């Protein structure tokens, strides 16, 4: 069965169908030695080259993989950034068949849910305006929102790239400078949420995507981590794109894999400039202790309080000796005074 060339390339995971169409227009794809054009169809028996490299068309069913990634602030949604900033692809798990395709984008100052897949056709349908897939955002806004502003943003605001509007604006909580709203829209224009609020003179101080289509980002999904969609979530998200679920296309992660994936750094940095201090030997330790506490010749002189205590103790011993010597000789045990029942109190041991 013949298929359009851009669809075949997208199904191989080389990119979205729209990107493959751009490659064909740019003359980067050839079929049987001829530069391909839009509308070219292939059945898998042709020799296809992309940028001069052969592409193997596999007749086996595509194992579609879909992951949810919690994008943090500071990462860009691009494969290669000319400014050298960190991209989302630095934190994604490795993939064997195809490559990761981002379903939509989030700007560098926006965090939240990003869906990624290796199925170009699925990604294209999810992003296409005709699918009208909902996106939900949590927004923290500075300023006072009025009914007139809500009506204007739900009716539609015209920008250079078309009309944008919110389908829903819901108060989420907070007060003062920490008021949160949840907004729902079906568009995917650049900075669309921020521009709608700014058109009313309000400033978005924080923006986070919490839902794309039927999939809501789990609260336990930490920033910089990703998770594979289970079978129920995959069925629901394919229904959003108008595609059927087939078990042979479903990717089941290995059982020994953790529920969340955190990419390891590509390089390990060792701080070689900091060297450990050598441990002191037992001889050095003993010398240090003698120096701190002093030897018998260098001990501190006794204080006045200790001298008084010693003098009182000697006086008490002398008195005891004198009393014992003054006792008459030949005194029997019966004649001697009995001790008190309190053996530890010296006061009752005296005569």
Q: CB of 16 within 8 A of CB of 10?
A: yes
Cβ within 8 Å of residue 204, ≥6 positions away:
139, 140, 141, 142, 193, 194, 197, 198
Distance CA(112)–CA(68), nearest Å, equals 10
pTM: 0.67
Q: CB of 70 within 8 A of CB of 110?
A: no
Q: Is the pLDDT of residue 165 over 60?
A: yes
Burial class (CB in 10 A: 0-12, 13-18, 19+), 63: middle
- The pLDDT tens digits for 333-342 are 445 545 544 4
Residue ranges of domains in the chain: 3-55, 66-252
> 98's torsion region: left (phi>0), alpha (psi -120 to 50) or beta?
left
Distance CA(221)–CA(321), nearest Å, equals 84
Residues above pLDDT 90, as percent of the chain:
48
Is residue 43 part of the annotated active site? The answer reads no
Distance CA(94)–CA(172), nearest Å, equals 37
Class of CATH domain 3-55: alpha beta
Distance CA(41)–CA(24), nearest Å, equals 12
Q: CB of 170 within 8 A of CB of 183?
A: yes
Average pLDDT over residues 109-130: 92
User: What is the CATH architecture assignment of 66-252?
Assistant: 2-Layer Sandwich (3.30)
Distance CA(89)–CA(101), nearest Å, equals 10
- The pLDDT tens digits for 168-200 are 999 998 888 789 999 999 988 889 999 999 999
Bigger pLDDT: 225 or 62? 225
Average pLDDT over residues 204-220: 96
Where do the DSSP E strands lie in 24-65? 29-31, 34-35, 41-42, 48-50, 53-55
Bigger pLDDT: 339 or 79? 79
Residue of 59, 107, 119, 161 marked catalytic: 107
Bigger pLDDT: 145 or 306? 145
């Amino acid at each position: 069965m013949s298929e359009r060339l851009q669809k075949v390339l997208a199904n191989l995971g080389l990119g979205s169908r729209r990107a493959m169409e751009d490659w064909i227009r740019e003359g980067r794809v050839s079929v049987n030695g001829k530069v391909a054009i839009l509308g070219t169809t292939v059945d898998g028996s042709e020799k296809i080259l992309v940028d001069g490299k052969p592409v193997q068309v596999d007749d086996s069913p595509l194992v579609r993989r879909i992951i949810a990634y919690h994008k943090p602030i500071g990462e860009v949604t691009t494969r290669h950034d000319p400014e050298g900033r960190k991209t989302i692809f630095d934190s994604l798990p490795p993939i064997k068949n195809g490559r990761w395709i981002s379903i939509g984008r989030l700007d560098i100052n926006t965090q939240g849910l990003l869906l990624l897949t290796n199925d170009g056709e699925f990604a294209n349908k999810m992003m296409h305006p005709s699918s009208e897939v909902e996106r939900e955002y949590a927004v923290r806004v500075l300023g006072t929102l009025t009914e007139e502003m809500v009506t204007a943003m739900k009716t539609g605001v015209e920008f250079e790239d078309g009309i944008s509007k919110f389908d829903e604006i819901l108060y989420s909580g907070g007060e003062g400078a920490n008021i949160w709203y949840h907004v729902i829209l079906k568009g995917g224009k650049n900075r669309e949420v921020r521009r709608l609020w700014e058109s009313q003179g309000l400033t978005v101080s924080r923006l986070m995507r919490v839902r794309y289509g039927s999939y809501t980002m789990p609260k336990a999904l930490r920033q910089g981590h990703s998770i594979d969609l289970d079978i129920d979530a995959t069925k629901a998200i394919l229904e959003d794109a108008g595609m059927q679920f087939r078990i042979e296309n479903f990717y089941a992660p290995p059982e020994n894999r953790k529920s969340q994936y955190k990419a390891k750094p590509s390089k390990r940095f060792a701080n070689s400039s900091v060297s450990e201090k050598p441990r002191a030997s037992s001889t050095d330790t003993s010398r240090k202790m003698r120096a701190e506490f002093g030897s018998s010749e260098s001990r501190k002189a006794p204080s006045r309080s200790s001298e008084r205590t010693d003098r009182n103790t000697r006086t008490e011993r002398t008195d005891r000796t004198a009393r014992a010597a003054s006792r008459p000789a030949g005194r029997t045990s019966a004649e001697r005074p009995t001790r008190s029942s309190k053996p530890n109190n010296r006061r009752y041991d005296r005569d």
